[in-house]
A and B are shown apart, each in its own frame.
Chain A
Amino acid sequence: MQLAKRVLAVKPSATLAISAQAKELRKKGENVINLSAGEPDFATPDYIKDAAINALKENFTKYTDTAGIKELREKISLKLKKDNDLNYSPREIIVSTGAKQALYNALMVLCNPGDEVIIPAPYWVSYPEMVRLVEAIPVVLPTKNFRIEPEKLERKITKKTKVIILNSPANPTGVVYKKEELEEIAEIIVRHNVHCLSDEIYEKIIYDRIKHISIATLNDKIKNLTILINGFSKSYAMTGWRLGYAAGNKEIIAGMKKLQSHSTSCPNSIAQKAALAALGGNQSEVERMRKEFEKRRNFLTKRLNEIKGIIFSEPEGAFYTFLSHPQISDSLNFAKELLEKEKLAVVPGIGFGKEGYLRISFAASLREIGEGIKRLKRFIENS
């Protein structure tokens, strides 16, 4: 059987092997501690679930506008104004089946085969694969202390560069870019007239009273080149609902709408009503979850500091830390042995384009984090 080249070029998720093995062990009754999760461990807030139940009762179960119901796009427009000081009209917004589809569609709309997309490393595992699926070329940009160095970014730009991916707050490092850094990056993007795909999915999960800044707010030129990606999964603990959105220049959004109309049509109608409630409701649940993540981060970093030789990123946002230790060389092997011997599941750094590292998620209870780090310490000390 001969599958198309575009799907053969795509690697299966490097993180999948570990999570499958962790599940297997758990099924056998092993006491596995899972610090590999990419989703909040909280339940979706009740007021959001109630909105979905009402949508069902009112038979809101038919096709909607491909770009999402107008009320939701209006509410997102309002949110972008209020939280981010950004003006996007509902016509400059599209709701998709997860932020993932929004990212994928944006790449589909912007890239021709052979175009280059610059991805700062360590990166979220899906970026390079999505770029390959649209038959563009991922160009990896190494970073310093996990932050983009503007002059190195500029050196990666060629005639074929079409898009630069920016992810702040970042998965897997927890890096949040400051205004001055964004200004330097934006200046380069504008000068070279490329696009910025700004993945802001972790916007609300941010610590130490740092303020999230969207690169699109800096000036009109960068705003016009930016496609802002966000969604409901992380802020509102709604991963399974599959609902995200993109905001940007209306021609790009229209292109994404056209594409979506022929691939998945509208996002799920019930989830759209739930998202409307999420944005419209009291935001105290978001803050409650954020505070809990901050408490966990503080606990985790304190415990990690007790392990000799560990170097880790102090997360400013998101719910991950990215760490290295002299004993971690082959991260996949290390993660496998850690799981086998200590029943601790973490994600090997190689999947994020950085060998010698591990990603630890703190979307887990304090007890699990405490026990997990105890096991990591024991494993390092005994090997």
Chain B
Amino acid sequence: MAGWRLGFAVGNKDLIGALAKLKTYYDYGVFTPIQVAGITALTGSQECIKEIVSTYQRRRDVLVNGLNSIGWKMEKPNATMYLWAKIPEEFQKIGSMKFSLDLLDKAEVAVSPGIGFGRFGEGYVRFALVENEQRIKQAIKNIKKFLT
């Protein structure tokens, strides 16, 4: 529900009270039908979450197994829809920004350069598990060509 813009905070009532006061002057409440949808999301069947999670898990397995098989070694992440991967040794010196741009240019695979996540992110890239398994397999083929 990314575009719906709905989140929540829970905590000590004085803190939540201060947040509510701030919100009065900032954006004044949340689009009303979306609040109703939020109630339904919480009270309805939670099966959809299981389906989404198992989809991400399959994609994660295909991507990590695939990258490992072409020599780009990494661990499987335990959570989220992201994969945080150390750039192969021989490409370390060009930095995450150049590596990401090259990967986009030559392998047609878009990843996020680690430097965007702070200076300790340098040397890494982030994959997002937002493509289907077929396209992930294609990406691995392209990356293999790029790396060799």
A residues contacting B by CB (< 8 A) are 1, 3, 7, 10, 12-13, 52, 60-64, 96-98, 100-101, 104, 126, 129-130, 133, 240-242, 264-271
Contact = CB atoms under 8 A, between A and B. Distances in A.
Contact of B3 (A7, A62, A133, A241): A62
A129 B30 CA distance: 20
B31 interface: yes
Contacts of B27: 96-98, 100-101, 104, 242, 264
Interface of B: 1-5, 12, 14-15, 18, 21-22, 24-34
Contact of A240 (B14, B25, B29): B29
Contacts of A12: 21, 24
Contacts of A52: 33
Contacts of A62: 2-3
A1 B21 CA distance: 16
A268 B15 contact: no
B2 A63 contact: yes
B5 A266 contact: yes
13 contacts: A3-B14, A12-B21, A60-B3, A63-B3, A96-B27, A97-B27, A104-B26, A133-B25, A240-B31, A242-B29, A270-B31, A270-B33, A270-B34
A335 B15 CA distance: 30
B5 A64 contact: no
A98 B23 CA distance: 12
Given A62-B3, A100-B26, A265-B5, 9 more contacts: A7-B18, A13-B24, A60-B3, A61-B3, A98-B27, A100-B28, A242-B30, A266-B3, A268-B31
A101 B30 CA distance: 12
A227 to B, nearest CB: 17
Q: Is the interface of B mostly helix, strand, loop or mixed?
A: helix
Contacts of A7: 18, 21-22
Nearest to A263: B26
Contact of A268 (B4, B21, B28): B4
B28 A242 contact: yes
Contacts of B21: 7, 10, 12
Nearest to B5: A268
B15 A1 contact: yes
Contact of A129 (B3, B25, B29, B33): B25
Contacts of B3: 60-64, 266, 268-270
Contacts of A64: 3
Give the one of A62, A96, A242, A266 with max B CB within 10 A: A242
Contacts of A100: 25-28
A108 to B, nearest CB: 10
Contacts of A61: 1-4
Given A268-B4, A268-B34, A133 B29 contact: no
A378 B123 CA distance: 77
A7 B26 CA distance: 12
Contacts of A129: 25
Given A7-B21, A10-B21, A242-B31, A97 B5 contact: yes
Contacts of A10: 21-22, 25
B119 to A, nearest CB: 19
Contacts of A97: 5, 27
A1 B29 CA distance: 25
A68 B39 CA distance: 26
A101 B26 CA distance: 5
B82 to A, nearest CB: 16
A104 B23 CA distance: 11
B25 A130 contact: yes
A271 B24 contact: no
A64 B5 CA distance: 11
B114 to A, nearest CB: 20
B31 A1 contact: no
B5 A267 contact: yes
B29 to A, nearest CB: 7
A266 B14 CA distance: 29
Contacts of B28: 98, 100, 242
Contacts of B12: 1
Would you list the 3 A-B pairs with minimal beta carbon distance, nearest first?
Answer: A269-B3, A240-B32, A97-B27
A9 to B, nearest CB: 11
Give the one of B1, B5, B25, B31 with max A CB within 10 A: B25
Contacts of A269: 3-4
A64 B24 CA distance: 24
A271 B25 contact: no
B99 to A, nearest CB: 25
